[in-house]
């Protein structure tokens, strides 16, 4: 992991030394070898976390992991403080850090839009992660979290531990939060200026929906104009 890796502070919060070291090693050495081919994917920092449904902009994956960790910790607080249950926060945190770690291997950029790679058309990010974590001798309960993070309807298996359930729910919650805000901002933009700016960032999307809620259509129009000017200025 490079010094500036955005995942460093999260990894540092894993208290179990051996788990922390193993997670750090995966993040430092992100590559997949199949036969003679070595795959590395697009840069982790620039990767989206989805092609279109959620976090579909550069840096989206890092934001998704950070937000999902916060949501998962809120679930842990509720379990411990309200329900008086026990939860292994190290497993939850490691699971969140690793659950989508191979997404950058499944995306490539073409003319400013994202496409699925040769590898990504054959193996999804969840399968890649499970294979790599088995190869690296991770604990079964951690591999289960990654394997179950899409739930049993969209993935291979339902969560069978509290930690896996928390990671699944937190992942779903953040994907919905981000995806619905992006969708709303795109809709407002089409209604107000007749088009969508390419790749709304989360910051822009949250700005647009807030201005519409507080100041109405005119507020949304002014915010979209502000975003357009800002983008022109940064080019
Ligand atoms: Fe995923
Ligand atoms: Fe995710």
- Select the more confidently predicted residue: 156 or 3: 156
**C-alpha of residue 22 to centroid of ligand 2, in Å:** 20
Give the ligand with the smallest distance to the CA of 62.
2
Give the ligand with the smallest distance to the CA of 97.
2
Neighbours of ion ligand 2 (CB under 5 A): 100, 171
Statement: residue 221 has pLDDT above 90 = yes
Looking at residue 132, its pLDDT comes to: 95
Contact (CB, 8 A) for 151 and 142: no
Looking at residue 206, its pLDDT comes to: 97
Statement: residue 192 has pLDDT above 80 = yes
**C-alpha of residue 54 to centroid of ligand 1, in Å:** 11
The tokens for 124 are 């999804």
Looking at residue 112, its pLDDT comes to: 80
**C-alpha of residue 80 to centroid of ligand 1, in Å:** 26
Closest CA to 150 of 20, 78, 49: 49
**C-alpha of residue 82 to centroid of ligand 1, in Å:** 29
Exposed, middle or buried, 31 (CB in 10 Å: 0-12/13-18/19+)?
A: exposed
The tokens for 190 are 């089409």
228: pLDDT confidence band, cut at 50, 70 and 90?
A: very high
Looking at residue 1, its pLDDT comes to: 47
235: pLDDT confidence band, cut at 50, 70 and 90?
A: low
Statement: residue 3 has pLDDT above 60 = no
Statement: residue 187 has pLDDT above 90 = yes
Exposed, middle or buried, 53 (CB in 10 Å: 0-12/13-18/19+)?
A: middle
| Distances 31 to 26, 104, 105 between C-alpha atoms, Å | 9, 10, 8
Looking at residue 36, its pLDDT comes to: 94
Torsion sign, CA atoms 135, 37, 6, 176: negative
Residue % of the chain over a pLDDT of 70 = 98
**C-alpha of residue 150 to centroid of ligand 2, in Å:** 8
CB atoms within 10 A of CB 88: 18
Looking at residue 196, its pLDDT comes to: 86
Give the ligand with the smallest distance to the CA of 175.
2
Q: Where are the domains of the chain?
A: 8-161, 178-234
31: pLDDT confidence band, cut at 50, 70 and 90?
A: confident
What whole-number distance in Å separates Cα of residue 190 and Cα of residue 200?
12
What would the pLDDT profile of 8-30 be if each residue is shown by its tens digit? 999 999 999 999 999 999 999 88
Mean pLDDT over residues 49-70, rounded?
94
Give the ligand with the smallest distance to the CA of 172.
2
- Helical segments of the chain, H only: 8-12, 17-28, 60-77, 89-99, 118-122, 125-135, 140-147, 151-154, 162-193, 202-234
pTM recorded for the entire structure: 0.94
**C-alpha of residue 64 to centroid of ligand 2, in Å:** 7
Mean pLDDT over residues 200-226, rounded?
96
What would the pLDDT profile of 102-113 be if each residue is shown by its tens digit? 999 999 998 888
**C-alpha of residue 140 to centroid of ligand 2, in Å:** 20
């Amino acid at each position: 992991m490079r010094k500036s890796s955005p995942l460093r502070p999260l990894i540092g919060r894993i208290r179990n030394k051996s788990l922390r070291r193993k997670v750090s090693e995966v993040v430092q050495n992100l590559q997949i070898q199949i036969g003679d081919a070595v795959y590395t994917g697009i840069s982790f920092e620039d990767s989206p976390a989805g092609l279109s449904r959620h976090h579909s902009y550069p840096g989206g994956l890092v934001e998704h992991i950070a937000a999902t960790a916060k949501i998962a910790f809120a679930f842990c607080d509720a379990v411990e403080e309200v329900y008086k249950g026990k939860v292994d926060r190290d497993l939850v945190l490691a699971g969140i850090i690793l659950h989508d770690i191979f997404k950058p291997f499944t995306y490539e950029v073409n003319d400013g839009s994202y496409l699925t790679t040769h590898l990504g058309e054959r193996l999804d990010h969840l399968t890649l992660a499970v294979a790599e974590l088995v190869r690296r001798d991770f604990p079964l309960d951690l591999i289960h979290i990654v394997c179950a993070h899409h739930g049993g309807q969209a993935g291979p298996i339902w969560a069978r531990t509290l930690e896996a359930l928390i990671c699944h729910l937190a992942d779903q919650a953040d994907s919905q939060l981000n995806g619905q805000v992006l969708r709303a901002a795109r809709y407002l933009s089409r209604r107000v200026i007749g088009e969508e700016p390419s790749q709304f960032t989360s910051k822009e999307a949250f700005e647009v929906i807030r201005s519409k809620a507080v100041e109405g259509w005119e507020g949304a129009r002014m915010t979209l104009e502000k975003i357009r000017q800002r983008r022109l200025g940064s080019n």
